[in-house]
């Protein structure tokens, strides 16, 4: 197996700000695995919020290069994931990049797209939202007007959250989803839900800090809007823990370690009666294309990362103006590197 590492700084169209960070560039690592004249691409972005840097990830990958390139027993992504657990036991971001690459490679070796290998249909899939990051109210309204979209996800966690949503509602009839990114308290969430529901908000994502999980019991009981876990749903064992406190879970590939664990998490969430969502972390089309193949398993999706970029080093599954994923005719994830930034 041949290993190639690509490093990119993905430039964003606008400063992307949440309640805990702001960035104009998104560093990312793209892994390429080659076998039998085929190759698979996988991606993991780096974020200081979760303690990862590109330099540290690349160094960790390089430390395992010999083990990866000597591996000659690749049969399917599930068995390969057991090796990833051995090579990178503490780094879900790296496992994510390798697991997406392994799934892409497997699809190409089988000459089929992933959703077909998984026995899924893409005839009826959820629409992706478009994210409006925190900025001045004027700038947030300009972003919304600049990109007409059927559903918006609005980042909150400020002292002016209700006013922000009220003002944004004045320029669009599209539904909103709001993400407080751990920026609210319990009472604040309950009160905000009452004020946000008439403003056309569908649900609230991660209102409280992850450590305040016990407070979510009262919030869930009293909230007039559904509550979706994000920071409380990082790894497979978190799904069951979230069930008493949330109405749904947002699974992110980088946090959980890739497509293989994500599929298990989504299946468990469905069994527990939870709504399912997959979110992105401003990946290129490599990561976004991987997310797309999970669409038949989802109630909601946030896969707008690539269209938030001013330049994308890859191409693959893309979103049309209605927010609907458009698949390529290529096997695997459909992603392909096209340029260096």
Gap between the Cα atoms of 43 and 48, Å rounded: 17
CATH of the domain at 74: 3.30.390.10
Q: Say yes or no: 135 and 85 in one domain.
A: no
Q: Say yes or no: 47 and 155 in one domain.
A: no
Q: Say yes or no: 11 and 104 in one domain.
A: yes
What domain count does the chain have?
2
Q: Say yes or no: 161 and 257 in one domain.
A: yes
* Domain span at 13: 2-112
Tokens of 146: 């600049």
Q: Say yes or no: 158 and 18 in one domain.
A: no
DSSP states of 97-141 as a string? HHHHHHHHHHHHHHTSBHHHHTT---SS-PPBPEEE-S--HHHHH
Global confidence as pTM: 0.95
Q: Say yes or no: 80 and 211 in one domain.
A: no
Q: Say yes or no: 177 and 229 in one domain.
A: yes
Q: Say yes or no: 84 and 128 in one domain.
A: no
Burial label for 63, CB within 10 Å (0-12, 13-18, 19+), is exposed
For each of the chain's 341 residues, which pLDDT tens digit applies?
A: 999 999 999 999 988 767 667 778 999 999 999 998 999 999 999 988 788 899 999 999 999 999 999 998 999 999 999 999 999 999 999 999 999 999 999 999 999 999 999 999 999 999 999 999 999 999 999 999 999 999 999 999 999 999 999 999 999 999 999 999 999 999 999 999 999 999 999 999 999 999 999 999 999 999 999 999 999 999 999 999 999 999 999 999 999 999 999 999 999 999 999 999 999 999 999 999 999 999 999 999 999 999 999 999 999 999 999 999 999 999 999 999 986 44
Q: Say yes or no: 45 and 125 in one domain.
A: no
Q: Say yes or no: 129 and 202 in one domain.
A: yes
Q: How far is CA 186 from CA 157, 180, 223, 243, in A?
A: 13, 12, 10, 18
Please identify, among 95, 112, 129, the residue that sits at the C-terminal boundary of a domain: 112
Q: Say yes or no: 77 and 183 in one domain.
A: no
C-alpha 329 chain-centroid distance: 23
Residue 222 contacts residue 190 (beta carbons within 8 Å)? yes
Candidates 303, 283, 281, 305; CA nearest to 292 is 303
Q: Say yes or no: 106 and 128 in one domain.
A: no
Placement of tokens 């990114």 in the chain = 181
Please identify, among 61, 96, 112, the residue that sits at the C-terminal boundary of a domain: 112
Neighbours of 273 (CB within 10 A): 9
pLDDT of residue 341: 44
Tokens of 208: 């409280």
Gap between the Cα atoms of 284 and 255, Å rounded: 16
C-alpha 134 chain-centroid distance: 18
Candidates 71, 144, 63; CA nearest to 101 is 71
Please identify, among 84, 112, 140, the residue that sits at the C-terminal boundary of a domain: 112
pLDDT of residue 339: 61
CATH of the domain at 172: 3.20.20.120
Burial label for 314, CB within 10 Å (0-12, 13-18, 19+), is buried
pLDDT of residue 19: 61
């Amino acid at each position: 197996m041949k290993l190639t590492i690509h490093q990119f700084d993905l430039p964003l169209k606008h400063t992307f700000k949440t309640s805990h960070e702001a960035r104009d560039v998104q560093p990312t690592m793209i892994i390429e695995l080659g076998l039998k004249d085929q190759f698979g691409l996988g991606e993991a972005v780096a974020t200081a919020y979760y303690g990862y840097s590109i330099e540290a990830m690349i160094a960790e990958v390089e430390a395992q290069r010999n083990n990866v390139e000597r591996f000659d027993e690749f049969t399917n992504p599930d068995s390969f994931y057991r090796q990833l657990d051995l090579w990178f036991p503490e780094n879900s971001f790296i496992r994510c990049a390798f697991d997406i690459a392994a799934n892409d490679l497997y699809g190409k070796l089988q000459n089929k797209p992933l959703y077909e290998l998984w026995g899924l249909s893409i005839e009826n899939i959820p629409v992706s939202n478009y994210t409006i990051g925190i900025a001045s109210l004027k700038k947030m309204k300009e972003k919304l007007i600049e990109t007409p979209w059927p559903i918006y996800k609005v980042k909150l966690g400020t002292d002016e959250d209700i006013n922000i949503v009220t003002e944004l509602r004045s320029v669009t009839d599209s539904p909103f989803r709001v993400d407080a990114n751990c920026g609210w308290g319990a009472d604040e969430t309950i009160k905000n839900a009452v004020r946000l529901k008439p403003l056309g908000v569908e649900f609230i994502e991660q209102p409280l800090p992850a450590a305040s999980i016990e407070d979510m019991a009262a919030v869930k009981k009293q909230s007039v809007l559904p509550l979706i876990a994000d920071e409380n749903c990082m790894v497979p064992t978190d799904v069951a823990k979230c069930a008493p406190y949330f109405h749904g879970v947002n699974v992110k590939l980088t946090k959980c370690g890739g497509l293989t664990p994500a599929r298990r998490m989504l299946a468990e969430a469905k069994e527990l009666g939870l709504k399912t969502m997959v979110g992105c972390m401003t990946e290129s089309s490599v990561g976004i294309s991987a997310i797309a193949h999970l669409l038949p398993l989802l109630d909601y999706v946030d896969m707008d990362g690539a269209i938030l970029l001013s330049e994308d080093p890859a191409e693959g599954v893309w979103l049309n103006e209605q927010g609907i994923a458009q698949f390529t005719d290529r096997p695997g994830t459909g992603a392909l590197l096209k340029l260096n930034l």
